[in-house]
Amino acid sequence: MPKSLKSLLMVSPLAAVMLVFLVLPIVMIAIVSFWRATEFSIIPAFSFENYEFLFGSPVTYKVFLNTFKYALITWAFTLAIGFTVAYFLAFHVRSQNMQIVLFLLCTIPFWTSNIIRMISWIPFLGRNGIANSALLSMGVIDQPVEWLLFSDFAVILAFVHLYTLFMVVPIFNTMMRIDRSLIEAARDAGASGPQILWNVIVPLTKPGIMIGTIFVVTLVMGDFITVRIMSGSQSANVGRLISNDIALLQYPSAAATAVILLITVLMVIGILLRFVDIRKEL
Amino acid sequence: MTISRRQLLKTGTAAAAASTLGAPMIWAQNIKDVTLRQFGTGVSNLNEVAQKVKEDLGFTLEMTALDSDSVTQRAATQPDSFDIADIEYWICKKVWPTGNLQAMDVSKIANYDKIVGIFKDGKLTPESEIAQGTAPHTVGFTTGPDGTDFADEQTNWMTLIPTIYNADTLGIRPDLIGRPIESWAELLNPEFKGKASILDISSIGIMDMAMVCEAMGEIQYGDKGNMTREEIDKTMAIFTEAKQNGQFRAFWKSFDESVNLMASGEVVIQSMWSPAITAVKSKGIPCVYQPLKEGYRSWGGGIGLSKSLSGLELDAAYEYINWYLSGWVGGFLMRQGYYSAVPETSKDYMSENEWGYWFEGEEAAEPITNPFGDVMAQAGETRDGGSFYDRMGAVACWNAVMDENQYMVRKWNEFIAS
């Protein structure tokens, strides 16, 4: 059996699974996005109506902009926190047992569901919530702060809380594989702490940062429930636009929005992958 | 040969009773194996009803409770996933034309003549005016057994058998407001800036918006339940401006969210459903379902049968419907503050005190409890809004699906994103 045929046969089961469960549904979504719909029926007639409406409405641009805003801010915070946590775990905690214990500690919040972790912020941040009453009793404020809950602040806080671990894990992973003798060599050559961090550790951690970034950006851009609950339904991102359409039986319109979102996310990932060759780095 | 309802009435109720109520005798043996799958909103899809069905009728009823949007989706797109659809009349307008439900033979409904007028000719009493919106009687009948349209008058074929309905209004926190609230316009009163809320379900939310805009004197609608594009634009403009000025604290989508908003004091005035008010009150927090001078926004629900139902299952479904209207469920629902489509049969299943409080709007002689044993009112209290005829007689509009629904939904999305 020629080698190429053999490898072809070896990938074919996975390829078949991917084809049926990933490629075909996406193709279906793309097809439906060109159909028309009324309240109770979908009309399989080719039409650009959905896209025309999508690109013709100022709401679309506003909502996409909002989606990018959430993604960018969340990314910045999760990166800063994730990198710091991973750095601490990888370079400051000496014993491996301690590393494992602390790492597991990071995952404890993941023992409950996303929604529960999100909802638990609501009584905390509310007008008469714990945060406000603590600030009031400390005399920092004399009126409850209103913007803590049902605001962009609340949305981003929840995102950072939910997704920081997705940054910690890949960064920690790549940091652990950095050859410690490189750091020693840098120190012997007279580099200061910040210089080692910036010139040695950060470049070598880039694949982890990229993987973490892809996780966080795709999760935030695809999310709809966090934005709905934490903003008190007062803000929208693309995910919410799609879920609203689906709830109202506007499947073709939802499909068109989904196609545009998919293309956008793929473009973002494409740009990110330009910065680092993941295949080489792994 | 088809028998019209009128002909049937002439032959007398005895015949009707014989043809419907006599039937179980014949198939009582097989019926134990029957399982009917019902789905609908949490309002009326209660396990207590399923248990009682098992006791009284012998067959199994599987209940699935979903939110309004999911109910619509399921009824419209998955006709084989249910036998009985417990849906609202405004949803019926979206679902019926799909042909997933079958028309129901009125002559098999024993208590048909006792069903209140609003579901038949739209009139609660002979002199009452028909409210705006998708009034149940306008989507309650179809032209024949295979009709996918709606008939203008009563025919022998019903789309849904009415079961439950109520008149909705705004919920308020009297302790945090501290003055009487009398008009829908108060929702946009700057006094409640950052403390108001409406629901994020467009078909219902737009009706609340319309009640407010009309009460403010800003817009005079031709029909609040069927707005023109211009009316939709004007309504949305008023609410968008209020939203941008920070009038709203949050919008709610589920029952629980509305309860939490009110109970935590995040919101002091909002559109709300009556059981949510009860839930807030049961936490010991004062909350009033405030009757307003412009009237109520009403909704009604009913039972529809899946197209694929036939034979023994279909007979069981009719048996179920007849049982549903015979009083026990009616009493169960009315003791939660809803109304039964056949109030007079539920009377037999309620105490005099309960009937007086819930239906007649009289003072409670002793504490009123709901079917789950929670105390709803103390002796001496009266129901918000008074008697059945006071409340249902003051309905200004029904939840609706408009001709311009698609346009309205897009505008709603803009409102949320603004």
Question: Domain holding B97: CATH number?
Answer: 3.40.190.10
Structural domain boundaries enclosing B138: 32-166+298-348
- Of A84, A85, A133, A145, nearest in space to A109 by CA: A85
B209 shares its domain with B302: no
Interface test mutation site (partner B, options A64, A122, A233, A240, max chain B beta carbons within 10 A):
A233
Q: Is B24's pLDDT higher than 60? A: no
Predicted confidence (pLDDT) per residue in B371-388, tens digit: 888 888 889 988 888 899
pLDDT value for B12: 44
**Burial degree of B157 (CB within 10 A; 0-12, 13-18, 19+):** buried
Asked if residue B202 belongs to a domain, the reply is: yes
Q: Do B188 and B234 have their domain in common?
A: yes
Q: Which of B204, B236, B410, B411 to mutate to test the interface with A (most CBs of A within 10 A)?
A: B410
- Cβ-defined contact of A234 to B250 (cutoff 8 Å): yes
A235 touches chain B (CB under 8 A): yes
For residues B304 and B261, membership in a common domain is answered with no
Is B23 part of a structural domain of the chain?
no
Whether pLDDT at A40 is above 80: no
**B254 plus B398 within the same structural domain:** yes
Q: Which of B76, B200, B248 sits opposite A249 (nearest CB)?
A: B76
| Within-domain flag for B196 | yes
What's the pLDDT tens digit per position in A165-222? 999 999 999 999 899 999 999 999 999 989 999 999 999 999 999 999 999 999 999 9
**Cβ–Cβ gap A244/B248 under 8 Å:** no
pLDDT in tens, A88-102: 999 998 888 999 899
Q: What is the reported pTM?
A: 0.81
Same domain membership, residue B276 and residue B397: yes
pLDDT digits (tens, 9 = 90+) for B228-259: 999 999 999 999 999 999 999 999 988 888 99
Domain-embedded: residue B24: no
> Contact A234/B98, CB-based, under 8 Å?
no
On whether residue B307 sits in a domain, the answer given is: yes
- CB interface of A with B, residues 177-206, below 8 Å: none
Let me know whether B118 and B210 are in one domain: no
- Inter-residue contact B98 to A41 (CB < 8 Å): yes
Give buried/exposed letters for B276-314 (b at 16+ CB in 10 A, else e): bbbbbbbeebebbbbbbebbbbbbbbbbbbbeebeeebb
Among candidates A222, A204, A250, which has minimal Cα distance to B409? Answer: A250
Q: How many CB pairs under 8 A join A and B?
A: 83
Paired tokens of B373: 């044993």
B287 in the same domain as B327: no
- Helix B229-244, helix B405-417: angle, nearest 10: 10
Task: Tally Cβ neighbours within 10 Å of residue B154.
Answer: 18
Quick one: B286 and B330 in the same domain?
A: no
Tell me the CA distances in angstroms from B213 to A17, A205, B95, B265, B415, one per residue in order: 55, 58, 29, 25, 15
**Number of domains making up chain B:** 2
For chain B, how many helices (H) and strands (E)? 17, 18
Whether the complex's predicted ipTM is more than 0.95 is answered with no
Token reading at A148: 């803590």
Q: Does A59 contact B at CB distance below 8 Å?
A: yes
The answer on pLDDT for B17 being more than 60 is no
Residue B18 pLDDT class (50, 70, 90 cuts): very low
Residue B233 forms part of a structural domain: yes
Do B203 and B260 have their domain in common? yes
Whether residues B121 and B56 share a domain: the answer is yes
Instruction: Flag whether B17 is in a domain.
Output: no
B367 in a structural domain: no
> Which residue among A233, A240, A244 places its CB closest to the CB of B250?
A233
Same domain, B75 and B223: no
- Asked if residue B254 and residue B228 are part of one domain, the reply reads yes
Alpha carbons within 13 angstroms on the beta-carbon side of residue B47 total 1
Q: What is the tens place of the pLDDT at every residue in B152-207?
A: 889 999 999 999 999 999 999 999 999 999 999 999 999 999 999 999 888 889 99
Give the confidence band of B10 by pLDDT, cuts at 50, 70, 90: very low
Taking CA–CA distances from A234, the nearest residue in chain B reads B416
Residue B370 identity = N
Structure tokens at B407: 């346009």
pLDDT at B297: 93
